[in-house]
Structure 1
């Protein structure tokens, strides 16, 4: 058990790149962490970290040892999970990263918390590309196709985009009957926060020709301000259907030119392939897949 404790200290230090941060996580001093790592290095006969006054980094031997330690702890986790599968009520902390648009998933997330009250969700909202394994997430939800071979994935569902504006806006400016008429309207655009590029409106006319050079009344790197501006009659926005569904049902927004909009997307949940799907993660994945896109107009 002492050896496992030393391995745990090493793994924590490798992931935080800091003896001080590791000490805070484990409730010990930074010097105790350093001494534990030094004893481990002495026993192994290799240097595991390069040390400087500002940071620590893994040596090649340390990187190799880290992967082996992760497999050891993964096997221990798997053994524990096999014993816990019989538990009727999955419980514990589930750390999940969601995109910023994930704020609009909160009704589904809230319903999950009601269904599984013994699971504590630790949610992080960000559009940056997170390293699921290095940053210690149980899972991440993102759009697009997966590119990390270390991760398992499951599609939660697909969505399409809709052009929406308020009844008051269309009352003042008229409702566009053809895609070409959009060039005479106030358009509210979304800018990707990670790249700074505008999200394209894939709107085509009856001949399949794409409508380009649409006006810009406002640009935002988050969807919530676009929703607000559209509802307040400031223009037309191109937004995911799940984000506007409720407002359309309440007639606070109106959808136009549905057949002309070709933007689509998909959400996926990803988790480390080295880890077994724990009961708490399994019920979260199943719940999101069954519920997130269940309601369609």
Structure 2
């Protein structure tokens, strides 16, 4: 019995790594084990539990119903163990931290916040990934992700960091060539730069006589992230609608000009830090989210 108890956490960690890494070979590489060793650990775990946890094919592994329940419990237990280890280590916060954010938020907020976080927590190593694609935290092994907009219901824990209004804008040289729109309807005569991902709205909301409606827009360029959209706008390629936090500095410098502000509906883009729930967050995750929240509150980019 003592031997089995000592092995349980290791079996649990190997099983969880197979799921998050997507296979035996990948789990073995991250754990420093051979694929056959990983397979043997899983077989021993399944034999002890008397249940099949994974369905294996030549290309992938998938959780059984029992495996999904065990994985959720294992994740919670492993997080609590990591938290206990950190607490026992003289309260020091240590370990690796993987952070995912959108390109604009990452460039303007997350990256500048990292040096002071590491200065306060020298035992932490940070891995940054900036993309406007929606990231699956478990699949990508991200500890914290920053998401924009409203969040769907999920098992993730979310903490609101801030919010930003949106602004329609264009570069001065574009307006010199094409003229300045004075009403939302004028946008139909302009090259409007938009997003090409599936969750993008087909038009831009505008407020006319107290009522909010959607103005149809079209243009010659569509992109998959806000930073590219900003760059295209700065180069005079057209009119764009972006978060104010993203272009506040460009507007202050005169590189971009806000348009149709009297028709701005005042809708807000919410920003949340999210991480996996199901138990206490590791100290390094909690410390980073707290630090990021303080950092955002110190900036004038958000309302």
Other structure's SS at 2:193 match: strand
Deviation at 1:215, TM superposition (A): 4.3
Other structure's SS at 1:116 match: helix
Aligned counterparts, 1:139-158, within 5 A = 139-158=144-163
CA distance in 2, matches of 1:249, 1:111: 20
Q: Quick one: which of 222, 225, 228 aligns to 1:225?
A: 228
Other structure's SS at 2:204 match: coil
Other structure's SS at 1:216 match: coil
Other structure's SS at 1:147 match: coil
Tell whether the 8 Å contact from 1:112 to 1:284 is kept in structure 2 after alignment: no
Structure 2 gaps of 5+ residues are: 1-5
Tell whether the 8 Å contact from 2:223 to 2:229 is kept in structure 1 after alignment: yes
Q: Quick one: which of 71, 75, 78 aligns to 1:73?
A: 78
Q: Does 1:124 align with 2:129?
A: yes
Q: 1:209 to 1:30 in 2, by over 3 A?
A: closer
Q: Aligned residue for 2:107? A: 106
CA distance in 1, matches of 2:293, 2:286: 11
Tell whether the 8 Å contact from 2:79 to 2:282 is kept in structure 1 after alignment: no
Deviation at 1:29, TM superposition (A): 0.9
Q: 1:161 to 1:107 in 2, by over 3 A?
A: closer
Other structure's SS at 1:168 match: helix
Other structure's SS at 1:203 match: strand
Q: Aligned residue for 1:136? A: 141
Other structure's SS at 2:262 match: helix
CA distance in 2, matches of 1:30, 1:109: 36
Tell whether the 8 Å contact from 1:205 to 1:211 is kept in structure 2 after alignment: no
Q: Does 1:58 align with 2:63?
A: yes
Deviation at 1:134, TM superposition (A): 5.1
Structure 1 gaps of 5+ residues are: none
Other structure's SS at 1:163 match: strand
CA distance in 2, matches of 1:218, 1:60: 45
Other structure's SS at 2:137 match: coil
TM-score normalised by the chain length of structure 1: 0.84
CA distance in 1, matches of 2:214, 2:12: 59
Q: Does 1:165 align with 2:170?
A: yes
